[in-house]
Amino acid sequence: MSINAPILLFEPDSAVRASLKFSLELEAFNVVLAENGDGDPAVAACLVIDQRFREGDGLAFLADLRSSGCATPAILLATNPTRRLRERALAAGAVLVEKPLLGNALSQALRAILGRAEAA
């Protein structure tokens, strides 16, 4: 299965960014690095945002995108997420995937989101 629409990856750590891009591309995802918040979320299939993105509040970054009309599906990556963070992610329409990433948790979440988008 090849995913043509890009997955925009917002990850502050360059080593993690490179690793995620590599592993997702092995699974046929088209990954675009958006390390400075660049990239067009409107044409992306999904946004993958690390909670530490943009001074440690990736969810606030997603909220800014949502307030400007971006409805692109999103995944929030977070280490030891609190109940409050989980609630905020849900309210923002994001799927929360806990780090450290185990197995293929991220690719499974992406496939589930992309499958729902195709069915709609």
Question: Could you tell me the pLDDT band of residue 2, with boundaries at 50, 70 and 90?
Answer: very low
Distances (CA, A) of 110 to 54, 55, 68, 82, 84: 22, 25, 23, 22, 23
More confidently predicted of 119 and 85: 85
Q: Domain 7-119 is in which class?
A: alpha beta
Residues 21, 9 contacting (CB under 8 angstroms): yes
Q: To the nearest whole number, what is the mean pLDDT of the chain?
A: 91
pTM for the predicted model, two decimal places: 0.91
> 94-99 and 7-10 as β-strands: parallel, antiparallel, unpaired?
unpaired
Helices (H), the chain: 14-26, 53-56, 58-67, 83-91, 105-119
Q: Is the pLDDT of residue 51 over 70?
A: yes
Residues 72, 41 contacting (CB under 8 angstroms): yes
The token pair at 4 is 């043509």
